[in-house]
Structure 1
Amino acid sequence: MEALFFNASNGFLEGVVRGYRNSLLTQNVYNNLTQCENLEDFRLQLSATDYGNFLANEPLPLSTAVIAEKATQKLVAEFNYIRTNAVAPLSTFMDYITYSYMIDNVILLTLGTLHERDTHELLERCHPLGVFDTMPALCVATNVEELYNSVLVDTPLAPYFRDCLSAQDLDDLNIEIIRNTLYKSYLEDFYQFVQTLGEPTRESMSKVLAFEADRRTINITLNSFGTELSKEQRAKLFPTIGRLYPEGNNALARAEDVDTVKACVEYIPEYKAFFDNASKSTGSGGGGGMNGGAGGDDSDGASLEDEFFKREVSINRDTFLQQFGLAVFYSFVKLKEQEVRNLTWIAECIMQDAKDRINDYIPLF
Structure 2
Amino acid sequence: MCEQLKTLGNAADEGVFRAVLESTPVSAYFQEADVDLDFFQQVQAKIDDREQKNLFLQELEVCKQRVMKQYYKRFVQYCKMCGGNTWEAMRKLLAFEMDMCTIMLRVNMLKSTNDSLPGELYPQFGELYPFIHDVFAGLSDYDSVMNALNDYPEYRDCMEQAVTQEKGLLEVFKAKKVAYLEECINTQYNLGFIYAYLQLREMEAENVFLMVQGCVMAQSDAARFQLRK
Which band: TM-score by shorter chain? Answer: 0.7 to 0.9
Alpha-carbon spacing, 1:165–1:309, altered in 2? closer, same or farther (3 Å):
closer
1:345 maps to which residue? Answer: 210
Asked whether 1:325 is paired with 2:194, we answer: no
Structure 2 CA distance, aligned partners of 1:143 and 1:238? Answer: 31
2:21 maps to which residue? Answer: 152
AA partner of residue 152 (structure 2): I
**Contact 2:186/2:193 (CA < 8 Å) preserved in 1?**
no
**Contact 2:93/2:184 (CA < 8 Å) preserved in 1?**
no
2:96 maps to which residue? Answer: 211
Gaps of 5+ in 2: 47-55, 220-229
Q: Deviations over 1:177-201 (max 9, x none)?
A: 2111000010011001000113211
- Output aligned runs, 1:162-311, within 5 Å: 162=31, 163-165=33-35, 168=39, 169-170=42-43, 171=46, 172=56, 173-228=58-113, 230-283=114-167, 302=168, 304-311=169-176
Q: Residue 351 of structure 1: CA displacement?
A: 4.6
Alpha-carbon spacing, 1:342–1:214, altered in 2? closer, same or farther (3 Å):
same
Provide the secondary structure at the position in 2 that maps to 1:196.
helix
Structure 2 CA distance, aligned partners of 1:143 and 1:246? Answer: 40
Structure 1 CA distance, aligned partners of 2:84 and 2:10? Answer: 43
Structure 1 CA distance, aligned partners of 2:217 and 2:25? Answer: 41
Q: Deviations over 1:131-180 (max 9, x none)?
A: xxxxx6x5412289848524213433232223324773225133222111
Normalization by structure 2: what TM-score? 0.78
Q: Deviations over 1:13-55 (max 9, x none)?
A: xxxxxxxxxxxxxxxxxxxxxxxxxxxxxxxxxxxxxxxxxxx
2:7 maps to which residue? Answer: 140
Q: How many residues align?
A: 201
Gaps of 5+ in 1: 1-108, 114-135, 284-301, 355-365
Q: Residue 350 of structure 1: CA displacement?
A: 4.3
Structure 1 CA distance, aligned partners of 2:65 and 2:112? Answer: 15
Structure 2 CA distance, aligned partners of 1:196 and 1:257? Answer: 39
Alpha-carbon spacing, 1:235–1:336, altered in 2? closer, same or farther (3 Å):
same
Normalization by structure 1: what TM-score? 0.50
**Contact 1:266/1:272 (CA < 8 Å) preserved in 2?**
yes
**Contact 1:164/1:178 (CA < 8 Å) preserved in 2?**
no
Structure 2 CA distance, aligned partners of 1:177 and 1:190? Answer: 20
* More helix, by proportion: 2
1:161 maps to which residue? Answer: 30
Alpha-carbon spacing, 1:191–1:262, altered in 2? closer, same or farther (3 Å):
same
Structure 1 CA distance, aligned partners of 2:90 and 2:17? Answer: 30
Structure 2 CA distance, aligned partners of 1:253 and 1:240? Answer: 15
- Aligned CA RMSD, in angstroms, stands at 2.5
Structure 2 CA distance, aligned partners of 1:212 and 1:143? Answer: 36
1:314 maps to which residue? Answer: 179
Alpha-carbon spacing, 1:198–1:150, altered in 2? closer, same or farther (3 Å):
closer
